[in-house]
Amino acid sequence: MDMAQDSTQEITGLKRWRLILGGEQQGSNGSGGEGMGDELRDGGAGFTDGTGVSLTGHDAQLDMALSALYDKQMYRYGRRSSGKSKGKKRGKGSASRGLASRGADLSPSAPYVAKWLHDIRELFPTSTVQMLQQDAISRLDLEELLAEREMLESVVPDVHLISTLLNYKEMIPEENKDLVRQVISHVVAELMAKLQLHTVQALKGALNKAVRRRHPRVQDINWDATIRKNLQHYQPSLNTIIPEELIGYGRKGRKLKDVILCIDQSGSMAESVIFASVFGAIMASMPALSTRLICFDTSVVDWTDHMSDPVDILWGVQLGGGTDINQAVTYGQSLVHRPDDTIIVVITDLEEGGDSKKMLKRFAELVESGVQVIVLLALSDDGAPSYDQDMAKKLMAMGICCFACTPDKFPDMMAAAINKQDMSLWVSQNIRATHKI
């Protein structure tokens, strides 16, 4: 019994390696499996390489889908094979699937890609489907095909897809733009549902602490809370309590903090624009915060009046073009009315196309005035960001924290900023090494 189990586990492991490595076709045998080539239909011999394992049925369908992408076989995906069609065996030094591509370099067409998109949704879990879609867009140059309705109806919407659609928005036919907006709306709704609760809880907690740390006027002192807080400071000789901290009532309708989000809308920052728009909408819904949202390239657009609908913002931004960070920071500076209670978050890769000396001067002026300035090199789930390291070091020397932030960390980062924590310490404790200077 144990030997049978070991044999089964060994075969399963070899099949997984076979799917990772790809291989050379080993014969044909056809029945069932609509949409697949005869040699890969249920019961077909599939492909083998050094593993000595043949793939049949569901495993063969998985292999066909992976070959279409990583072996650049999309041009023949879904065709019926009229005979043996040898795949290209991996040469010396080639990497595994997902790291290098093999085979013919023929451009895919919409019917085959749409069929492939449909099939991978049936074959793989959603997280894998999203990764395969992202790889297909980058490896097979599918940007133009995303303008076709058949394609748009076949994809699984996610942040990476929206980033691509926004970058190639001008290529989308007028008759498909409503569908694209629906795709964007779907992703935004998912992000709002995922991020809103944590963001609101984190910021409300921070704002409550901010209220307690203020120096209230006499009429605003919460005497009961103040006495309880300062009981340890009771002076027996004076028969009284000498309070070291006064706690006030939170005043309704009062904006405790001003937050200004300045977002670089160059093409490489597309995902950051998406997440920042969603967080802007969440923060705008909180009465204790005054939130403004600015997007910039070589010009500055203030989207504050549209923050309730991130879809409008995303549809309106023009990704790509130059970058004038100095102009954006100058505009942000003009919005500061109470420096000690203002947080400016500039989301940019610091690749300045304008006057870098003036930009650094503006940043220095903000810090000197008491504004809390944070530079996010990226706001996304991607890996280590690409940015101007020299510029980041100069800003760090001014006391401005520069780092990349994942969306799940952004609410806690904002809470730390609202409480005026040591942001350098917060970054060292919460941001992984690849995302900080």
Q: Which two tokens stand for residue 114?
A: 């749409």
Evaluate the CA torsion angle 8, 14, 19, 22 in order and state its sign.
Answer: negative
Lowest mean pLDDT among 59-68, 145-154, 240-249, 292-301: 145-154
Q: What token pair was written down for 102? A: 């093999």
Q: Which of 419, 371, 426 is nearest to 207 (CA)?
A: 419
Question: What pLDDT was estimated at residue 23?
Answer: 65
159's tokens: 């942040």
Count of positions (residues) in the chain: 437
Query: Which residues pair with residue 292 across a beta bridge?
Result: 260
Bridge partner list, 263: 295, 347
Residue where the block lists tokens 């915060």: 289
Helices 410-418 + 177-213 axis angle, to 10: 30
For residue 62, give the nearest of 124, 12, 110 by alpha carbon.
Answer: 124
Tokens representing 264 are: 């670089």
- pLDDT bin (cut points 50, 70, 90) of residue 115 is confident
pLDDT value of position 341? 92
pLDDT of residue 412: 95
- Name, in order, each residue with C-beta under 8 angstroms of 391's C-beta and a sequence gap of 6 or more: 350, 352, 356, 360
pLDDT in tens, 217-244: 777 777 888 888 889 888 888 889 988 8
The answer to whether residue 168 scores a pLDDT higher than 50 is yes
Please state, in angstroms and rounded to a whole number, the distance separating the CA atoms of residues 397 and 131: 38
pLDDT of residue 27: 44
Cβ(358)–Cβ(409) under 8 Å?
A: no
Asked if 36 and 60 touch (Cβ cutoff 8 Å), the reply is yes
Q: Where are the beta strands (DSSP E) in 155-206?
A: none
303 pLDDT more than 70: yes
Q: How many whole angstroms separate alpha carbon 187 and alpha carbon 369?
A: 39
Q: What is the CA radius of gyration of the chain?
A: 28
Higher pLDDT, residue 129 or 50: 129
Check if the beta carbon of residue 357 is closer than 8 Å to that of residue 329: no
Least confident span in 20-24, 38-42, 324-328 = 38-42
Question: How far is it, in rounded angstroms, from Cα 179 to Cα 185?
Answer: 10
Cβ atoms of 300 and 247 closer than 8 Å: no
* Distance from C-alpha of 24 to C-alpha of 140, rounded to nearest angstrom: 21
Closest CA to 344 of 391, 401, 281: 401
pTM over 0.75: no
Least confident interval from 13-17, 97-101, 108-112, 137-141: 97-101
Dihedral sign (CA 63, 65, 66, 69): positive
Euclidean distance between the first and the last CA atom of the chain, given in angstroms as a whole number: 56
Q: What is the dihedral of CA 60, 65, 70, 71, to 10 degrees?
A: 60
Give 186-206 pLDDT, tens digit per residue. 999 999 999 999 999 999 888
Q: What's the CA gap between 331 and 346, in Å, rounded? A: 12
Read off the tokens for 389.
Answer: 């390291």
